[in-house]
Amino acid sequence: MTHTEEKELLLRLQAGEREAFRELVLRYQHRLYDLLYRMLRNRTETEDALQEVFLQAYRGLPRFDGRSSLYTWLYRIATNTALMRLRRRRLKTVSLEEPPEGLAQEVHTRAQGGETPLDRMLTTELREHLDRWLAELPPLTRLVFLLRDVEDIPIGEVAAMTGQTEWAAKGRLKRARAHVRNRLEAYLKERT
Amino acid sequence: MGCRQYIEQLCEHFEEALSRPECARLREHLEACPECRAYLNSLRETIRLYRTLRHEAPAELCQRLLAILELGHEDSAGNPH
C-alpha cells in the first residue's frame, strides 16, 4: 500500500467508515496470522490472538494519532499480543505448541512468486523445520527476525515496536539470521 | 579481518552490506572469497524461504472476524443488506 493510500484509508477509518475497517482486516489478516502463528505455534491460540488484535485496533482507532504509520501501529498491537500470550503461557508453565502440523493438520500456506527447484522441495517436512528452527530462538529474537526479514519493516521501526534499542535489535537479528541459515544448511547437507 | 568476522558483518547488515560505505572491505572480500559468497547466497535463500512460505488464515476465520466486528454483511458502499 502506498503512503497516500494508507493515509486515505486512515482518514476513512477515523471517520468511522465501516467498509474501511473491513478493508483493513482483509488487507492484513494473512500477514498478521502468519506472524502470530510463527510466534505462538498453536492454531487455536493464533485465531484468538488475531481476533484480539483486530478488536483492539477497532476500539483503539479513535485514539490513534497517526504519528506512526497504520501498519506499524497494527504490528505493534500484534507484537504486544503475541508477547503477552507467551508470557502468560510461561507463567502457567504449559506448552501449547502443537505437534508438527504435517502430521495431523491441514497446512494453510501461500506460495508467493515464481517456483524454483528448491520451492518444489518445499515439503510439509521442510515447512515444519523452518518453523521449528525459528521456535528454537527466544521470543524477542524470533520477533525481530519475523518483523525485519519476513515483513520487511525497517530495523529502527522494529526496535521501537518491540521496545528495545536499535543496537539490541540488530544484535538479535544477527543471531537469528545465523541460526536459521545454519540450520537450513545442515538440513540440506543431511539430505544430499 | 578473517572470514568469521566478515560473516558476522554479513549477518548484521545482510543486503545492506552491499551498499553501506563502512562495508567496503566486506564487499572486496566477497569478490575474492567463494566461501563467504556462498554464505551470503545461503542467507538470501533462507530468508527467501521464510518469506515465500506463509501460513494463511483459514477462510472461516476471516468470516468470523468480520462477523464479530459486524462488518460481514455490507456491500462495498458500507450499506447493510
Specify the pLDDT at position B77: 40
Q: In this predicted complex, what is the ipTM?
A: 0.81
The Cα A85–Cα A35 span in angstroms is 13
CATH architecture of the domain A113-192 equals: Orthogonal Bundle (1.10)
Specify the pLDDT at position A137: 96
Judged by DSSP in three states, B28 sits in: helix
Q: Which residue of A13, A19, A141, A153 to mutate against B (max B Cβ within 10 Å)?
A: A19
Specify the pLDDT at position B14: 83
The Cα A21–Cα B78 span in angstroms is 10
Ranges of each domain in chain B: 3-68
In this prediction, what percent of chain B has a pLDDT beyond 70? 86
Model pLDDT for residues A58-101, shown as the tens digit of each residue: 888 888 877 888 888 999 999 999 999 999 988 776 566 665 44
Model pLDDT for residues A21-42, shown as the tens digit of each residue: 889 999 999 999 999 999 999 9
Specify the pLDDT at position A96: 60
pLDDT at A118 over 80: no
Specify the pLDDT at position B81: 38
Nearest to B57 among A19, A33, A178 (CB): A33
pLDDT at A132 over 90: yes
The Cα A61–Cα B79 span in angstroms is 21
Ranges of each domain in chain A: 1-98, 113-192
More confidently predicted of A24 and A192: A24
For residue B32, the distance in angstroms to the closest alpha carbon of chain A comes to 22
| Matching residue, cell 503461557 | A89
For residue A31, the distance in angstroms to the closest alpha carbon of chain B comes to 8
Mean per-residue pLDDT for A158-175?
94
Average pLDDT of chain B? 81
Q: All 3 cell numbers of residue A92?
A: 502457567
Specify the pLDDT at position A119: 59
pLDDT at B38 over 60: yes
In this prediction, what percent of chain A has a pLDDT beyond 90? 56
Q: How far is CA A186 from CA A137, A175, A192, B12, B44, in A?
A: 17, 17, 10, 21, 16
CATH architecture of the domain A1-98 equals: Orthogonal Bundle (1.10)
Rg from Cα positions in chain A:
18
